[in-house]
Amino acid sequence: MAAVSATTRLALLLAYDGGGLHGWQVQPRAPTVQGQLEQGLAELLGQPLRVTGAGRTDAGVHARGQVAHVDLPVGFPRARLRPALNARLPPSLRVLAARPVSPDFHALHSAVRKTYAYSLHLSHEPGGQQAVQRSVPPHRRRSFHAVRADLDREAMAAAALALTGEHDFTALSKAMPAGRGTVKRVQRVRLASLPRGLAIVVSGEGFLYGMVRLMAGLLVEVGAGRRRPDDVAELLDSLDRNRAPAALPAHGLCLLRVDYPGALLGSPPGRGRAALHPDILGPAAGST
């Protein structure tokens, strides 16, 4: 029987600009987050390693707080990993920090909450939708979707409340393989003001394919007066994808953070939940 090599499981905190990437999952002949990470690790260690992410973000979706795990050979100095791996990655993808975690930690299955934000640029530009899109400042073009500024935020807040809780979100999802569960629990949906903008911030235990962008599209339709807040419950009850709004473009969406049980991250006793962020990782992460 072949010997099993000793490894240490590391959690990686990642940020990336998804504009030039074809999503998270490895694809042949296309740059992806997982593919670039695994290629960089193979160059660094001289052997293939599997990287598992907390969420399979779509093409064009950004991340400020994506989390992944990898099993690193014990002999490799952990403090070198972040700078050495970043030197082999494109500037659009950064390992912000890395730390040893429990062998039971799993970036996807251990997550208890994920938080996304969809960023809207609020435009006062006269004319049609093309004119609205042209009004986006250059520094926002890769991460904001433009809409008209006269949104009814009270109506949007009421619709957001109707989206919280446990529901069957079939109507707000893209087609998925048969047998996959469609009931999800959304913990919070809130509107956050930005300079000349608005963020739709969604937290939940997990999301269906395309669900967050469809939720954002629904809230924009309510804000624009094309739907009523009362329509949300009716839409969810219908389980009919054909009645859903159009999903907003991918470039406005960003994965902000992922939360885990504190024990799996080595947090102090009594800390029930923690997120992988530099303030929690500390010097042991090799983030100096």
The rounded Cα 12 to chain-centroid distance in angstroms is: 14
Residues 105, 107, 113, 117, CA torsion sign: positive
User: Rounded distance, CA 56 to CA 226, Å?
Assistant: 31
- Residue ranges of E strands in the chain: 7-16, 52-53, 62-73, 93-100, 113-123, 145-148, 165-168, 183-194, 197-204, 253-261, 273-275
Q: Reply yes or no on whether 58 is catalytic.
A: yes
CB atoms within 10 A of CB 226: 11
Q: Which of 227, 119, 110 is nearest to 172 (CA)?
A: 227
Distances, alpha carbon 44 to alpha carbons 77, 86, 160, 162, in Å: 12, 10, 45, 48
User: Rounded distance, CA 120 to CA 191, Å?
Assistant: 11
User: Rounded distance, CA 258 to CA 249, Å?
Assistant: 22
Q: Max CA-CA distance within the chain?
A: 72
- Residue pair 218/244 in contact (Cβ under 8 Å)? The answer is yes
User: Rounded distance, CA 210 to CA 157, Å?
Assistant: 21
User: Rounded distance, CA 11 to CA 69, Å?
Assistant: 4
Q: Which residues are catalytic?
A: 58
